[in-house]
Structure 1
Amino acid sequence: MERGHWNRPVTYEEDDQGGYRTITSTEEAARALLLAWPVDEGKEYFAAQRICLAVLEGRQAPELAREAFLKAAAEAGVFVRDQ
């Protein structure tokens, strides 16, 4: 199994034109946060980056990255479909 794989994916609105993206792993979440996130600041945003790195290094459980990603989305006002 891929390190960082999530048991429950997260689907979020990635742009203001109704485009959605589904994240299924910590690696995908890290890429979204670093390359395509609508903000580049915030407590939850930076926490999510740190937790994703820890998961990818094998120091944390993947579900912690999922939770952190959802908190970062809430902080940034990113719409997430029902979980």
Structure 2
Amino acid sequence: MYNRAWLRPVELQTYIGDYRIVGSTDEAVIFLLKHWPIDSDGEPAAGRQGFLEALEGAEAGDARAVFIEACLQLEMHVIG
């Protein structure tokens, strides 16, 4: 994996009150793997795989937009 840095990092507040700054596609993938909600069966909630696939295949600017969309679906507050 190589670091595909974004021109502007994304600042966000997670649903548990943590503040995070994500500045690259690779950081976004790691964030989604660690912080995507788990459903009642212990599996990642629907949609995670689609976001991960979109991130992996996207240019840096598009990946940032996909990541922001994922954060909003997780009801996180995107600051920047």
Pairwise TM-score range, normalised by the shorter structure: 0.7 to 0.9
Name 2:23's counterpart in structure 1.
24
What is the TM-score with the length of structure 2 in the denominator? 0.75
In structure 2, relative to structure 1, the CA distance for the partners of 1:63 and 1:24 (3 Å cut) is same
Q: Structure 1, residues 49-81: CA drift from partner, whole Å, max 9, x if none?
A: 012222xxxxx3111111111111111111111
Name 2:56's counterpart in structure 1.
53
Q: CA RMSD in A?
A: 1.9
Task: Give the percent of matched residue pairs that are identical in Structure 1 and Structure 2.
Answer: 27
Unaligned runs of 5+ in 1: 55-59
Unaligned runs of 5+ in 2: 39-43
User: For 1:22, what is the secondary structure of its paired residue?
Assistant: strand
Q: How many residues align?
A: 74
Name 1:38's counterpart in structure 2.
37
What is the TM-score with the length of structure 1 in the denominator? 0.73
Distance 1:75 1:23 in 2: 17
